[in-house]
Structure 1
Amino acid sequence: MPKTLRSPRHVRLIDLLVEQRNRAGLSQADLAEKLGRYQSVVSQIESGGRRVDVVELLDIAAIIGLDVHALIDDLLSTRQITDR
């Protein structure tokens, strides 16, 4: 299985999370506080250095007002490098 960190879908996920966090008017520190985490955790996620597990994704989505179903649909339409 190819690596997913920094794959096209991973990059798209990050872009969507950052875009929606900004739309929600939240800084990384604001989001981190609401998650009960350090700002550095959010920074690592948004810089692509740390994966987001499903539970974290659901928590983040709820805080920033992101539709998880639409997110998944978008990611499914994003081609992976290995797609031919």
Structure 2
Amino acid sequence: MWVPPEQHKIVGGALAGLRKRAGLKQQDVAERLGKPQSFVSAYEAGQRRIDVLELARIAQALGLEPEHVFGEIMRIVPPGA
């Protein structure tokens, strides 16, 4: 399913907000994921699409349940988007 770029920015913004609330830097999350900091920067900026498995791993890196992260994203995605 194709997702418009503006939706990638919404998802990335939500993940950035959750990261900041967890008191983590992009580098902290990157290390927990075993990825470069540029990976975190790219998905937070909406420049990289993430799949559901990556979303689950990101949630774990943030110390959150995947269901919580998905719910947070769905809360801010505009209806019908």
TM-score range (shorter-chain normalised) is 0.7 to 0.9
- Contact preservation (8 Å) 1:32, 1:38: yes
Once the two structures are TM-superposed, the CA of residue 15 in structure 1 deviates from its matched residue by: 1.9
Q: Give 1:32 shift.
A: 0.5
State the shift of 1:28 in Å.
Answer: 0.6
Aligned to 2:29: 31
2:14 to 11, 16, 19: 16
Count of residues paired in the alignment: 80
User: Is contact 1:20-1:66 (8 Å) kept?
Assistant: no
Cα-to-partner distance string for 1:28-72 (whole Å, 9 max, x where unaligned):
111101100000111111111101111111001011133432443
Following the alignment from structure 1 to structure 2, what is the Cα–Cα distance between the partners of residues 25 and 52? Answer: 22
For 1:79, the equivalent position in structure 2 comes to 78
Q: Is the 8 A contact 1:28 1:42 kept in 2?
A: yes
The gaps in structure 1 that reach 5 residues or longer are none
List alignment gaps of at least 5 residues for structure 2: none
Quote the RMSD (CA, aligned, Å).
2.3
The CA deviation at 1:24 is 1.3
Cα gap change, 1:71/1:30 in structure 2, threshold over 3 Å: closer, same or farther?
Answer: closer
Check conservation: 2:14, 2:72, Cα contact below 8 A. no
Distance 1:17 1:3 in 2: 17
Amino acid at match of 1:41: F
Scaled by the length of structure 1, the TM-score of the pair is 0.74
Give the letter for the 2:48 counterpart. Answer: R
